[in-house]
Amino acid sequence: MTLKTKIFLGWLVLVPLAFWVQTLPVSPLAVFAVSGLAIVPLAAWIAHSTEAIAVVTGPTVGGLLNATFGNVTELIIAIVALRSGLVEIVEASISGSIIANLLLALGLGACLGGLRVPELMFQSGAARMNASSLLLAVTVLLTPTLIVVTSPGVAAGSIQSFSVVTSILLLVFYAMSVLFSLKRSQEVTELQTAVAPLEEVSHPINIPLQVGILLGATVGMVFVSEILVGSLAKATQDLGLSELFSGVILIPLFAGVVEYIACVTFAWKNKMDLAFNVAIGSTVQITMFVAPLLVLVSAFFPKAMSLQFNLFEVLTVALTVLITNSIVNDGQMNWLEGLLLLVTYAVLGTAFYFHG
C-alpha cells in the first residue's frame, strides 16, 4: 500500500465522523463544517479513480468520467435542496459552480502546474468547441432574465414553460455533443495508430476495482450531502451570510472539490488535456445537463425551478465565460494566466459577499 493510499484512507475517517456529529447536540455550523470536510476524501478517491481509468480510456473519456462523477455531488446536493424548497440557493449554486470551475479549478491547475511546466498545452480544437458550448449556455441563462427585465408583465408560467422547453433542447444537444466527442476521440486514436502503429501496452490498472471505488465514493457523497444540506440554512444564518453568497461561493467550494483536486493533480503532472476536460467539460455539463435536469425534476417538488437567474449572477457568469475563452482559445496556459483567473474569482467572491 502506497503512502498516498494510506493518506486517502486516513482522511476517510471524516465520513463516519460526519454521521456521528450529526447526532450530537452541537451547532449546525459544526455539522456543516465536518460534513463539508468529509466530502474532500470522497472527492479525492473519485479523482484518483478517474485518473487511473483515464490511463486506459484516454483523456476525453477520463475527463468526461471525472466531470460526470464530480457533478454527481452537485446534482445530489441540488436535488436535496430543491426537495427542501431552497430553489434560490440551488439556482445560485449553479452559477457558482460555473464560476468556480472556470476560475478557481482551472486557475489553480494552471497556476500550480505552470510552476513546473512553463507552457501547459492542450487541444485547441476541444477548447474552441467547448467555448462555443459555453456561449450557448450563457445565451440560455441570459434569455429568461432579459425577458423579465424587458417585459415586466410577463407571466411566471410563461417563464417556466420556456425553461422546460429550453431544458429539453439543452439535454438533447448535450447528448449529441458527448457522442460527437467520443467519436472524434476514437477517430483520432485510430488515425494515430494507423500512422504510427503502437505495440500493445498492458496497463497495470485494475479497472473493476477503480470502478467499484468510483461508485462507492459516489454513494458516500449521497449520504454526506444530505447532512451538509440539512445543516446549510442554520449554518449560514449563524455565519451571517446571505443565500446568494452561500449558493454562489460556499456550496460550490464543497460540491466542486472533485474538480479542484482533479485539475490540480492533472495539471501538476502535465496532463493538461485531462485538467482542461475536467474544468471546462464539467462547466458545460452543469449548464447543459445538470441545470436542465433540475428544472425538469423540480416539477415533482412543491416549488418548481426555472432558468430565470439573478441578473447579477448571469452577468458575472457571462464575464467569467468571456475571460476564460480569451485565455484558453490558443490551446495553452501558463501560471500567470492561472493567477489571473484566481484573482478574478477572488474579486467576484468579494462582490457577492457585499452584494448580499
Q: Which one-letter DSSP state was computed for residue 75?
A: H
Flag whether pLDDT at 53 surpasses 90.
no
Q: 213-263 pLDDT, tens per residue? A: 888 887 887 788 778 877 877 787 777 788 788 888 888 887 777 778 878
Residue 9 lies in a domain: no
Residue 45 lies in a domain: yes
Work out the pLDDT band at 124, boundaries 50, 70, 90. Answer: low
d(CA 273, CA 263): 10
Residue 5 lies in a domain: no
State the pLDDT at residue 12. Answer: 79
Q: Which domain holds residue 293?
A: 14-355
Work out the pLDDT band at 3, boundaries 50, 70, 90. Answer: very low
Work out the pLDDT band at 198, boundaries 50, 70, 90. Answer: very low
Q: Which of 294, 315, 308, 289 is nearest to 158 (CA)?
A: 308
Cell of 187: 477517430
Residue 7 lies in a domain: no
- Global pTM value: 0.80
Residue 109 lies in a domain: yes
Work out the pLDDT band at 348, boundaries 50, 70, 90. Answer: very high
Q: 33-42 pLDDT, tens per residue? A: 888 888 888 8
Residue 150 lies in a domain: yes
Residue 349 lies in a domain: yes
349: left (phi over 0), alpha (psi -120 to 50) or beta: alpha
Residue 3 lies in a domain: no
The domain tally of the chain equals 1
